[in-house]
C-alpha cells in the first residue's frame, strides 16, 4: 500500500494524460451532480470547491429532484459495482448527459460515456485516477479552472518534505486525531479522516472552519479525552481564518496536542493535493505504528457481501 501511495505523483501524471471525447454539449450545462461513495466520492468533493456553477455530490441511493437535462451527471465508482452509485445512475441516466468514471463493473456496462481507469488498486489508493480525469473533463468544459500541471509539479518537487511531515504526524500523534480545514481543506480534512479510518483502522474526526467555531469550539471547555488536533493551514488563508486558527491553537493546546501543517504550492488546488498526500502517507505510517495492515477493508467488504446476499435472497 505504501508503495502505491508513494506513486501518487506518477499516477497523477499518467491519469492526466488519459484521453477521452464525448458527444456532450457542455455549453448547455448549468449544474454538475456527481454520485459516488467513499474513496470515489472524495474526488468530487475536492473539485466542487473550484466549480463556477452549482456542484452537488450525492452519497445516497437517489439524486435530488432538481436533476434536469441541463445537469451534467457524473457517476464515479472505482469498482463500478457500488449499489448506491448504481442506483443513482439508473435514476439519472435518461434525464441528463452523463459520464462514468470507473474500472468497469456494472457501471461500465450501463454507461454510454465511460472514462475507463486502471484496475487492481484499492479505490482510495486510486485517487489520482478518480480525480485527475474528472478534473480534466470539468476543465475542458470550463466548469472549473485549476492548474493540474502545477499540482503535479508540487507533488514531484515536495516529495521529501511531504514524507517527512507524514512521518512526524504519525510519530507524534496520541489518541484520536481531529482534523481541521477551511475552504477546499474541509474536503481534505475529510479525506484525512477517511484514510485514518480505512488504513490505520482508527477513529478520527474532521471539522470545517469557520463552522466548527460555532459549536465544536465549546467542547474544549469540558474535554477530557486524549486527542491530537491537526490543522491543515495555508499561508494564503486570509486574516480572519488565521486569527481563528491561532485562537484555536492557544485554546486547544491546553488540553491536546496540536500539529499545524502548512501546504506548499502557489494555488489552492496544488496546496490541496499537497495536504492530501501528506494525510495519505501519514495514515499508512500510522497503520505501521499500530501494527495493522493498511490495505484490506474487511468490514466494508463484509457489509457489501451481506447487502448483496440480502438482495439475492429477496429477489
Ligand atoms: C476502499 C474505499 C471505499 C470505496 C467505497 C466505494 O478502498 O476507499 O471507501 O471507495 O466503498 O466503492 P467504489 O469506489 O468501488 O465505488
Q: For residue 308, is it within any domain? A: no
Residue 177 shares a structural domain with residue 272: yes
Is 277 a residue of the active site?
Answer: no
Atom of ligand 1 nearest to the CA of 124: 8
The rounded Å distance from CA 175 to ligand 1 centre is: 26
Place of cell 457489509: 303
Q: For residue 303, is it within any domain? A: no
Q: For residue 301, is it within any domain? A: no
| CA angle (265, 281, 257) in 5-degree steps | 85
CATH number of residue 158's parent domain: 3.40.50.10490
Residue 315: per-residue pLDDT: 67
Residue 47 shares a structural domain with residue 124: yes
The rounded Å distance from CA 252 to ligand 1 centre is: 33
Is 304 a residue of the active site?
Answer: yes
Query: Does the pLDDT at position 151 exceed 80?
Result: yes
Considering the candidates 84, 98, 106, 198, report the single residue annotated as catalytic: 198
| pLDDT tens column, 84-106 | 999 999 999 999 999 999 999 99
The rounded Å distance from CA 255 to ligand 1 centre is: 35
Radius of gyration over alpha carbons of the chain, in Å? 20
Residue 154 shares a structural domain with residue 142: no
| CA angle (280, 77, 40) in 5-degree steps | 25
- Last residue of some domain: 98, 113, 146? 146
Atom of ligand 1 nearest to the CA of 304: 11
Query: Does the pLDDT at position 205 exceed 80?
Result: yes
Residue 260 shares a structural domain with residue 285: yes
Question: How much of the chain, in percent, has pLDDT values that exceed 90?
Answer: 96
Query: Does the pLDDT at position 74 exceed 80?
Result: yes
Query: What average pLDDT does this structure show over 202-224?
Result: 96
Residue 137 shares a structural domain with residue 222: no
Q: For residue 10, is it within any domain? A: yes
Place of cell 464515479: 76
205-209 and 71-77 beta bridge pairing: unpaired
Considering the candidates 21, 94, 160, 214, report the single residue annotated as catalytic: 214
The rounded Å distance from CA 159 to ligand 1 centre is: 26
Is 52 a residue of the active site?
Answer: no
Residue 104 shares a structural domain with residue 232: no
Q: For residue 205, is it within any domain? A: yes
| CA angle (146, 149, 151) in 5-degree steps | 70
Considering the candidates 93, 116, 257, 304, report the single residue annotated as catalytic: 304
Residue 109 shares a structural domain with residue 231: no
Residue 99 shares a structural domain with residue 155: no
Residue 171 shares a structural domain with residue 260: yes
**What is the number of domains present in the chain?**
2
Q: Which residues line ligand 1 (CB under 6 A)?
A: 37-40, 77-79, 82, 85, 122-124, 198, 297, 300
- Measured by CA distance, the residue closest to atom 10 of ligand 1 is 39
Poorest-pLDDT segment among 45-49, 86-90, 96-100, 219-223: 219-223
Query: Does the pLDDT at position 299 exceed 80?
Result: yes
Query: What average pLDDT does this structure show over 264-275?
Result: 97
Domain coverage including residue 255: 150-290
- Using the CB atoms, write b or e for 85-117: b if 16+ within 10 Å: bbebbeebbeebbbbbbbbbbbbbebbebbbbb
Residue 217: per-residue pLDDT: 97
Residue 312: per-residue pLDDT: 75
- Measured by CA distance, the residue closest to atom 11 of ligand 1 is 38
Pocket test for ligand 1, best of 42, 74, 81, 82 (most atoms within 8 A of CB): 82
Query: What average pLDDT does this structure show over 178-184?
Result: 98
Helices then strands, counting H and E runs in the chain, come out as 13, 9
Pocket test for ligand 1, best of 78, 295, 301 (most atoms within 8 A of CB): 78
Residue 133 shares a structural domain with residue 50: yes
Per-residue pLDDT band at 314 (split at 50, 70, 90):
confident
The three-class DSSP label of residue 181 is strand
Residue 75 shares a structural domain with residue 105: yes
Query: What average pLDDT does this structure show over 251-258?
Result: 96
Q: For residue 306, is it within any domain? A: no
Pocket test for ligand 1, best of 38, 107, 116 (most atoms within 8 A of CB): 38
Query: Does the pLDDT at position 77 exceed 80?
Result: yes
- Last residue of some domain: 124, 146, 168? 146
Residue 313: per-residue pLDDT: 77
Q: For residue 8, is it within any domain? A: yes
Question: How much of the chain, in percent, has pLDDT values that exceed 70?
Answer: 100
| pLDDT tens column, 101-131 | 999 999 999 999 999 999 999 999 999 999 9
- Last residue of some domain: 146, 168, 188? 146
Residue 96 shares a structural domain with residue 71: yes
- Measured by CA distance, the residue closest to atom 9 of ligand 1 is 38
Q: For residue 296, is it within any domain? A: no
Q: Can you tell me the distance from the alpha carbon of 151 to that of 268, in angstroms, rounded to the nearest whole number? A: 9
The rounded Å distance from CA 244 to ligand 1 centre is: 34
Amino acid at each position: 500500500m505504501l508503495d502505491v501511495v508513494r506513486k501518487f505523483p506518477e499516477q497523477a501524471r499518467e491519469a492526466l494524460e488519459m484521453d477521452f471525447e464525448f458527444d456532450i454539449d457542455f455549453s448547455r450545462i448549468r449544474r454538475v451532480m456527481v454520485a459516488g461513495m467513499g474513496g470515489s466520492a472524495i474526488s468530487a468533493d475536492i473539485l466542487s470547491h473550484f466549480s463556477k456553477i452549482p456542484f452537488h455530490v450525492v452519497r445516497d441511493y437517489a439524486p435530488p429532484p432538481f436533476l434536469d437535462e441541463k445537469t451534467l451527471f457524473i457517476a464515479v465508482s472505482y469498482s463500478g459495482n457500488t449499489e448506491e452509485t448504481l442506483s443513482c445512475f439508473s435514476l439519472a441516466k435518461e434525464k441528463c448527459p452523463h459520464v462514468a468514471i470507473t474500472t468497469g463493473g456494472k457501471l461500465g456496462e450501463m454507461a454510454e460515456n465511460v472514462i475507463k481507469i486502471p484496475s487492481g488498486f484499492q479505490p482510495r489508493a486510486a485517487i489520482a485516477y478518480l480525480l485527475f480525469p474528472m478534473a480534466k473533463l470539468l476543465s475542458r468544459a470550463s466548469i472549473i479552472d485549476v492548474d493540474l500541471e502545477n499540482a503535479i509539479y508540487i507533488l514531484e518537487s515536495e516529495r521529501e518534505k511531504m514524507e517527512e511531515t507524514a512521518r512526524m504526524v504519525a510519530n507524534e500523534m496520541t489518541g484520536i486525531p481531529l482534523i481541521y480545514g477551511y475552504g477546499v481543506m474541509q474536503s481534505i480534512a475529510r479525506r484525512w479522516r477517511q484514510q485514518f479510518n480505512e488504513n490505520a483502522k482508527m477513529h478520527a474526526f474532521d471539522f470545517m472552519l469557520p463552522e466548527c467555531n460555532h459549536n465544536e469550539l465549546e467542547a474544549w471547555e469540558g474535554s477530557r479525552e486524549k486527542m491530537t488536533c491537526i490543522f491543515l493551514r495555508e499561508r494564503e488563508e486570509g486574516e480572519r481564518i488565521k486569527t481563528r486558527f491561532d485562537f484555536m491553537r492557544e485554546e486547544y493546546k491546553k488540553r491536546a496536542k496540536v500539529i499545524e501543517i502548512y501546504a506548499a504550492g502557489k494555488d489552492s488546488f496544488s496546496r490541496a493535493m499537497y495536504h492530501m498526500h501528506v494525510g495519505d502517507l501519514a495514515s499508512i505510517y500510522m497503520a505501521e505504528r499500530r501494527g495493522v495492515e493498511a490495505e484490506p477493508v474487511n468490514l466494508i467488504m463484509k457489509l457489501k457481501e451481506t447487502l448483496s446476499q440480502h438482495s439475492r435472497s429477496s429477489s
